[in-house]
Amino acid sequence: MKKIILGIITLLITVSAVSFSYMMLKKKDTIIDETKILTQKYDTLKNEKNTLQKERTDITNSLDEIEGKIDELNTKINH
């Protein structure tokens, strides 16, 4: 009788350990998938940031050119 009870307890412990291991592996897979998704989102945002910075630089350069032309016109008008 003791061997049967001991066997049942051992079986329950083994099943619990296997279930826990399986659950941890699934959780690990989920974390890996979420990490991939977040990495893709980060890369997308980083590319958008770089694009916006380039556009800002282009706009600033255009404004500088316009200011230069306005200064030239003002100089011509005043002389």
Distance, in Å, from the CA atom of 43 to the CA atom of 49, rounded to the nearest integer, reads 10
- Measured distance CA(29)–CA(52) in Å, rounded: 35
Is the model's pTM score more than 0.75?
A: no
Residue 7: the pLDDT is 92
Q: What is the dihedral of CA 47, 50, 56, 61, to 10 degrees?
A: -130
Q: In the 8-state DSSP scheme, what is residue 79?
A: -
pLDDT digits (tens, 9 = 90+) for 7-55: 999 999 999 999 999 999 999 999 999 999 999 999 999 999 999 999 9
